Amino acid sequence: MRLCKGGQRVAVIEAHDKVGGGCTHWGTIPSKALRHSIQMLADYRRNPLFQHTLDQVDVEFPDLLKAADAVIEAQVRTRYRYYQRNRVEVLFGHARFIDDHHIQVPRSDGVAEVLGAEHFVIATGSRPYHPPDVDFNHPRVLDSDSVLRLGHTPRSITIYGAGVIGCEYASVFTSLDVKVNLVDTRDRLLSFLDDEITDALSYHLRQQGVVIRHDETYGAVEASNDGVVLHCQSGKKFKTDLLLWANGRSGNTANLGLEEIGLTPNRRGQLDVNASYQTSLPHIYAVGDVAGPPALASASYDQGRFVGAHIAEGECDWSLIEAFPTGIYTVPEISSVGRTERELTAAQIPYEVAHANFRTLARAQITGHTVGMLKILFHRETLAILGIHCFGEQASEIVHIGQAIMSQTGEANTIRYFVNTTFNYPTMAEAYRVAALNGLNRLF
Ligand SMILES: Cc1cc2nc3c(=O)[nH]c(=O)nc-3n(C[C@H](O)[C@H](O)[C@H](O)COP(=O)(O)OP(=O)(O)OC[C@H]3O[C@@H](n4cnc5c(N)ncnc54)[C@H](O)[C@@H]3O)c2cc1C
């Protein structure tokens, strides 16, 4: 759409039978719709008003999954409409390069259509990584795609890989009273986040009953009729109804004809790109998951817009791809933007910490979501905001308020904004005022 607005003629080629991408059909949207339904169920179960109706409610995992269907349909409709309105031609079929200015797309009647273009943007996404010695055809061995087709609520599950997807599914299953083992290959959960936030995540997951094991490496997976055993190299064994493999993703670069144009994906199947998302062939770009981290829908959209501007006008807004927040939909939800305490300490930047605990906020007390905290890191001297880290209800929304101030230039980026501005009351946004007062009071 950005390219069309820039006066280019554009075609989108999609291998699936509907538009929307993995994000809509088997990634972000179904997992977040599932998580929302489970949260609604948890809120209902906790609400004293409905205690007398609880034994009439019998909700199974597939019922909760169904909630995603309507959202997926709505997203697909919206996207078709956008493409139509912007005169983007959409063709269905698996695209393959035949040379560096032509791709081939097999049509449903078997005839291959050849399309030529001056520029190409590869946005083929990623899929769960499958180690060759694990049998993903066994019904007890799942990945993040096949878990969306699970037809029953298991009694127990082992999740191997405690990255974002592993932690999110640990929250989903423990909320359904499923026994969960979360087996992490590293020494702490989500180590790219601020330590205080990941400590809180570990604490709350354990409080909810999740067994977390760190520094484990799988040795073998043994699936049978009565369960699946994950054998770790440490000698530990985890036997559960199901195994969810959530350890790594590979870029979708197979059968793309890359060998015809001299592009070689890295060992994760991703394409290496420069700062402008160009591959080693400057007229062929790669964006989104196929170009590697951060592998977020949010960042992928903006990389696409960035590249659209780069091709159409040769100029782009670099800020679009430089700073992006992270939203992690565990229970509690997590979100952050900017630098962590560890990074600021290593860079010897004099910072101070501003905290607000959700349990003190009237809005959190009203909704019953009192678990959570907002933490703002700011420069001791300039008072500029350097990082915002939040966990708890609505964390991924709350973070944007601070992000808006942090992205201002010069003196406009100041923590004082939050004490000099009146916020609606009662709101979760009030956490900013509480935190700012807390932080400013620490200065001497
Ligand atoms: C379980 C899960 C939860 C997630 N949750 C979040 C979240 O909460 N927030 C967030 O920001 N991100 C989330 N993500 C990540 C997000 O889904 C991806 O970062 C995003 O979808 C990447 O977009 P993309 O356009 O690169 O690829 P995709 O969305 O995967 O789309 C790629 C498209 O290319 C098509 N394709 C592939 N090969 C070809 C070919 N040869 N020819 C034609 N078409 C082809 C595919 O059919 C697909 O439709 C999640 C991912 C997963 C798996």
pLDDT exceeds cutoff 80 at 317: no
402 lines ligand 1 (CB under 6 A): no
Residue with the smallest CA separation from ligand 1 atom 8 is: 28
Picking from 391, 289, 379, the residue whose alpha carbon sits closest to that of residue 336 is: 391
Residue 410: its pLDDT value, please? Answer: 95
Supply 236's token pair: 């530990």
Quote the CA–CA distance of 336 and 373 in Å, as a whole number: 12
C-alpha Rg value of the chain to the nearest Å = 24
Compute the distance from residue 91 Cα to the ligand 1 centre, in Å.
18
Q: Is 207 exposed, middle or buried (0-12, 13-18, 19+ CB in 10 A)?
A: exposed
Res. 370: pLDDT tops 90: yes
Give the pLDDT score at 109: 83
How many Å lie between the centroid of ligand 1 and the Cα of residue 315? 26
Helices (H) and strands (E) in the chain, counts: 13, 22
User: 13, 23, 252, 399: which to mutate for ligand 1, most atoms within 8 A of CB?
Assistant: 23
Listed in sequence order, the residues at least 6 apart from 156 whose beta carbon sits closer than 8 Å to its beta carbon are 178, 179, 180, 181, 240, 241, 242
Reply yes or no on whether the pLDDT at 309 is more than 80: yes
Alpha carbons 51 and 57: distance in angstroms, whole number: 11
Q: pLDDT tens for residues 378-430?
A: 999 999 999 999 999 999 999 999 999 999 999 999 999 999 999 999 999 99
Cβ of 104 below 6 Å from ligand 1 = no
Ligand 1 centre distance from Cα of residue 204 (Å): 29
**Ligand 1 atom index nearest CA of 256:** 41
pLDDT-above-90 percentage for the chain: 92
Work out the mean pLDDT of the chain and round it to a whole number. 95
- Taking the whole predicted model, whether its pTM rises above 0.85 is answered as yes
pLDDT, mean of residues 231-247:
98
Q: Rounded CA gap, 86 and 218, in Å?
A: 48
**CB of 296 closer than 8 Å to CB of 23:** no
Distance 123 CA to ligand 1 centre (A): 8
Confidence of residue 262 (pLDDT cuts 50, 70, 90): very high
Q: Is ligand 1 within 6 A of the CB of residue 91?
A: no
CA angle 383, 387, 392 (to 5 degrees): 120
DSSP assignment of 28-96 equals HHHHHHHHHHHHHHHHHHH-GGGGGGGGG----HHHHHHHHHHHHHHHHHHHHHHHHHTT-EEEES--E
Higher pLDDT, 54 or 185: 185
What number does the ligand 1 atom closest to the CA of 328 have? Answer: 8
Residue pair 165/222 in contact (Cβ under 8 Å)? The answer is no
CA angle 436, 439, 441 (to 5 degrees): 105
Nearest alpha carbon, ligand 1 atom 17: 23
Average pLDDT over residues 283-301: 96
Question: 253 in ligand 1 pocket by Cβ < 6 Å?
Answer: no
Instruction: Check whether 320 has a pLDDT greater than 80.
Output: no
pLDDT band at 193 (very low <50, low <70, confident <90, very high): very high
Answer yes or no: are the C-beta atoms of 377 and 344 closer than 8 Å.
Answer: yes
Lowest-pLDDT range of 281-295, 302-316, 359-373: 302-316
Ligand 1 near 334 CB (within 6 A): no
338/336 Cα distance (integer angstroms): 7
Burial 262-278 (b: 16+ CB within 10 A, else e): ebebeeebbbebeeebb
In this structure, which residue's CA is closest to atom 16 in ligand 1? Answer: 297
Cα–Cα distance for residue pair 118/102, rounded to 1 Å: 9
Which residues share a beta bridge with 131? none
Rounded to the nearest whole angstrom, what is the distance from the C-alpha of residue 225 to the centroid of ligand 1? 33
Single out the residue of 128, 134, 132, 129 nearest to residue 220, CA to CA: 134
Give the span between the Cα atoms of 341 and 18, in whole angstroms: 43
For ligand 1, say whether the CB of 288 is within 6 Å of any of its atoms: yes
